[in-house]
Amino acid sequence: MNPGMIQHGAKKLVEVNGRVQPGESVVVIADTDMKTIADLVVSAARDVGANVVTCVISQREQDGQEPPLPAAAAMREADVIFSVVSVSITHTRAMRAALDSGARAILMTAYTEEILTSAALLETDFDAQAALCRRLGAVLTQGEHLRLSSANGTDLTFSIAGRVANVLTNIPDPGELAPVPDIEVNIVPMEGTARGRLVADASVPYLGIGILNQPIQCSVEDGYITSMRGGNEAQVLKAALDSHNDRNCYNVAELGIGLNPNAALTGRMLDDEGVMG
């Protein structure tokens, strides 16, 4: 891997996506497995004159587990947070409190050198895509009904009346998140309204599945997936969801639209979510 390109990726995250300014307070949250990548971000932030604090935490046991209290306290005082962790702390009370205090958060969950040197990061004009993100977000926020269809057999409908779209330009303002290099707009269906057929034909970037060899076909009724068919990958996913013994694992919870023209399917969440279209 080219060291210069790796450093360039860290520099872009800090200067373009984070828009870190001299004198700003930057908090880098890293777990022990991600310390090498975190150090690149720390160096790039110091180069622009930021005041940088690094919090190295133990790896979380599952996504959404709260970070330790000292790290959460540092996050609340930050102008910019870089979350360089193996297991996500995005959907936590600590992150919510930091955003409510005006932080800008760059999410680098499970980051790799491949992402740091990818076209999705290095070649993307995030400012140019921001206007498209906001226009599409406005359309979804003003909408009432949504229909999703594809040539592979997806035909899913649900209500979005009253929902507000989540616009992820990845050049966040205070109080916003940025899972770089994903660029997307997403919206949450009204509970209980999704129905039809959903055919996943790209990837499941969890559970070691990655890019799909065979589509996963799902039937949806009253907001929930009621059946899941496909090859071995469908069986792995279904077994994982069934293991929680909770029907809500099958709730249809989000429609996301990728808007990064340089992203490609890799089997990694931050790449795959942002693939254009």
What mean pLDDT do residues 199-223 have?
Answer: 95
Residue among 9, 45, 8 nearest 27 (CA): 45
At 1, is the pLDDT very low, low, confident or very high (cuts 50, 70, 90)? low
Calpha distance 67→156 (Å, rounded)? 37
Helices of type H across 144-268: 232-242
Among 3-7, 37-41, 254-258, name the one with the lowest average pLDDT. 3-7
| Surface-to-core class of residue 34, CB atoms within 10 Å of its CB (0-12 exposed, 13-18 middle, 19+ buried) | buried
In sequence order, the β-bridge partners of residue 26 are 52, 80
Residue ranges of domains in the chain, CATH in brackets: 3-117 (3.40.1830.10), 126-272 (no CATH)
pLDDT at 206: 87
Dist CA 126 CA 9 (whole Å): 14
Return mean pLDDT, the chain: 96
The whole-model pTM stands at 0.90
Q: What is the pLDDT of residue 277?
A: 82
